[in-house]
Amino acid sequence: MKLILSLVPFFPLLGALIIGVFGSKLSEKFVHRFAIFCIFVSLCLSAFVFNDVIKSDRYEYSLYTWAQLGELKFEIGFLVDSLTTSMMLVVNFVSLMVHIYTIGYMHNDPGYKRFFSFISLFTFAMLMLVMSNNLLQLFFGWEAVGLVSYLLIGFWFKKESAIYANLKAFLVNRVGDLGFLLGIGLIVSATGSLNYLEIFDSISILAELQYDLLDFYSVSLITLICICLFIGAMGKSAQFPLHVWLPDSMEGPTPISALIHAATMVTAGIFMVSRMSPLFELSEHALTFIMGIGAVTAFFMGILGMVQNDIKKIVAYSTLSQLGYMTVALGSSAYSLAMFHLITHAFFKALLFLAAGSVIIGMHHEQDIRKMGGLWKYMPITWIVSLIGTLSLIGFPFFSGFYSKDLIIMAVGVSNLQFASFIHLLLEAGVFITAFYSLRMFLLVFHGKARFDISHPPKESKFVVTFPLILLAVPSVLLGGVIFEPLVFSDWFDGAIFVLPNHDFLLNLNLASDDFLNFAKHGFLTPTFLLLILGSSSAYIVSLASPKINYFLSSTFPRINILLKEKYFFDKFNDWFFANGTRFIGEKLFNFSDKGFIDNFLVNGVVRLVSNVAALMRLLQTGYLYHYAITMFLAIAVFLWWYVPQPIQ
């Protein structure tokens, strides 16, 4: 088993190295075939491990010790349990679909081989993250996905917008990573270990410790650790206010947008909090903080999706909103539901992104939904799979997204944490918002009159593009029902996720049935479904029935319209306060330290001193012998006066 587990991340790494090093000497056909083969082997091995974990319990071992400082070991190893294997399957399957899709989407791109190397490396980094048994390896995978995302978002590096976007993503994530690193440091200082199981065995010690922030104020160490760790998750999983990088990441090619948003980078924070659930369960303050951040993200980022016109950015803001739902589930101690939604979301979100890419190809790289319409006639396969992805996203009964999303809303409704009732209302409102922007995008793209040049009509994408869409559509419909009972009513995550008895609000859920079919049928009778219908109807009215309403609303409420179009002015505030502020401070420090102190005082000052001393010395060099003789005489006299001892009286 040790060998098999080691091979799971090895094959994507092998694909990345072979293509990256020897890509210039290899044909495009060999490159994509080899990359797909490596990911496929990794997926098969993950399925084997998954089946073995079902029969057994878990595997935990260290591969090798990198370094040791006293009792502290820096190890590379794996912890494989139900939580890990679920992520391994999701990451590899979605990555495989993206690899296949890339053949058609990136065809004839000059960076074709480089792209395959990057996405294989991205998959490797995510697998190392989810399979880690210690915080060191977790941090390695954490930083690796951040680094590769920088390369992928800025893949078209000759575009100024792409350069700006990847730099923005890199810097914003560094803010979150600082908090994450501080959290790891506090854990190590308190427990003396980086290993998950050893840390979890020491939680009783952590729970009793206090940390003095100020002389007059102290906070629970476990609360401080959890908030620092979650700040890292806020960066990776794009939670308010560290969300600003995610919409701009659309500057990268569509396949990587799907990979980042569906199965890898943005889900890393959700996975990390679930993995560290024994720590988070000991701090209600941290859980309340997490729930609040998630609710703000789910609600306000969803509102921004309502006014977007770029097809990829609409899907991007839907990702932000859905990540907010997952975060709220984490805050309500419903870690299994957060993972449930993460899994279902991975498939239908990858489907929506890849379908958006298919539309972009068909529309000759046009991304403005106002310039589309009536595409169902020209792209029937893309239309059908987009409908499936949309229905799953809005949580329509019997589709995958319904089960996980509705359960999260219900779990928050029965939570007794502070502000839970208010957050529950925000999530319910989010259902209306999600239905509105999702159906608005779908209707403007595929229905209504054509708003493009019909002399150059779009065509259905190639089979290599539509094939992954069809494969992703299947779990977008069926997966939620299949895993509904194991994840909600069984002990699948027992041992991998820890929940205190007084936080196990899932026990308080008054479900109509534990059968997924009956649960879905009951979904038609809930207020949530009513809000879904209202949102869908509103989308139909403003997109097709009475589109003039858009102009009426924007002219009636111009300030609100500007606020939304400017994305709450977060980007401008960050540019003004952080970017310009940092630049201002840097310039002042440069003028004071570099120019003022180092250049003017030290360097130029020494030059001036030497010059002045030299000028003085020149005055002494008269060239007259008697001047030198007098000087020598005076020097000897001073010497004798100073050093010759005086007689004792």
Q: What is the DSSP string of 507-557?
A: GG---S-SSHHHHHHHGGGSHHHHHHHHHHHHHHIIIII-THHHHHHHHHS
DSSP H helices, 308-399, are 311-331, 335-362, 380-394
Spatial contact of 459 and 379, defined as CB atoms under 8 Å apart: yes
Q: How far is CA 161 from CA 153, 167, 301, 402, in A?
A: 10, 10, 22, 36
pLDDT exceeds cutoff 70 at 647: no
> How far is residue 483 CA from its own chain's centroid?
25
Q: How far apart are CA 174 and CA 236, in angstroms?
A: 9
**Is the model's pLDDT at 407 over the cut of 60?**
yes
DSSP 155: S
For residue 629, give every residue at least 6 positions away whose Cβ sits within 8 Å of its Cβ, in sequence order, or none: none
Whether 406 and 370 have beta carbons less than 8 Å apart is answered as no
Integer Cα distance of 118 and 188 in angstroms: 33
Predicted confidence (pLDDT) per residue in 414-463, tens digit:
887 778 889 999 999 999 999 999 999 999 999 888 888 777 888 888 88
Q: Half-sphere exposure of residue 18, counting CA atoms within 13 Å on the CB side?
A: 19
Q: How far apart are CA 504 and CA 333, in angstroms?
A: 7
On whether the CB atoms of residues 431 and 412 are closer than 8 A, the answer is no
Residue 45: exposure state from Cβ atoms within 10 A (0-12, 13-18, ≥19): buried
Q: Are 12 and 42 in contact (CB under 8 A)?
A: yes
* Secondary structure class of 212 (helix, strand, coil): strand
Q: What gap in Å lies between CA 455 and CA 457, rounded to an integer?
A: 6
Per-residue pLDDT band for 204 (boundaries 50, 70, 90) equals confident
295-317 residue pLDDT tens: 999 999 999 988 888 899 999 99
Q: What is the pLDDT of residues 61-107, one digit of tens each?
A: 888 888 888 788 888 889 998 899 999 999 999 999 999 999 988 88
Q: For residue 30, what are its two tokens?
A: 């060999």
**Model confidence over 562-596: pLDDT tens digits?**
888 888 888 888 888 888 888 888 888 888 888 88
Residue 214 scores a pLDDT above 70: no
Q: Are 374 and 458 in contact (CB under 8 A)?
A: no
Q: Which residues pair with 494 in a beta bridge?
A: 497
pTM above 0.75, yes or no: yes
pLDDT band at 124 (very low <50, low <70, confident <90, very high): very high
Q: Which two tokens stand for residue 21?
A: 């090093």
The rounded distance, in Å, linking the Cα atoms of 106 and 119 is: 13
Transcribe 508-522 into DSSP letters.
G---S-SSHHHHHHH
| pLDDT for the residue numbered 513 | 60
* pLDDT confidence of residue 629: 86
> Which residues have a Cβ under 8 Å from the Cβ of 612 and sit 6 or more positions away?
none
CA-wise closest residue to 311 among 438, 497, 496: 438
CA distance 297 to 544: 29
473 band by pLDDT with thresholds 50, 70 and 90? very high
Give the span between the Cα atoms of 643 and 187, in whole angstroms: 66
Buried b (16+ CB within 10 A) or exposed e, 83-121: bbbbbbbbbbbbbbbbbbbbbbbbeeeeebbbbbbbbbb
By the 10 Å C-beta count (0-12 exposed, 13-18 middle, 19+ buried), 272 is classed as: buried
- As a 3-state breakdown, the chain gives helix, strand, coil percent values, each rounded to 5, of 75, 5, 20
Would you state the pLDDT for residue 579? 82
d(CA 61, CA 73): 13
Mean pLDDT value of segment 502-514: 70
Q: What 3-state DSSP class applies to 408? A: helix
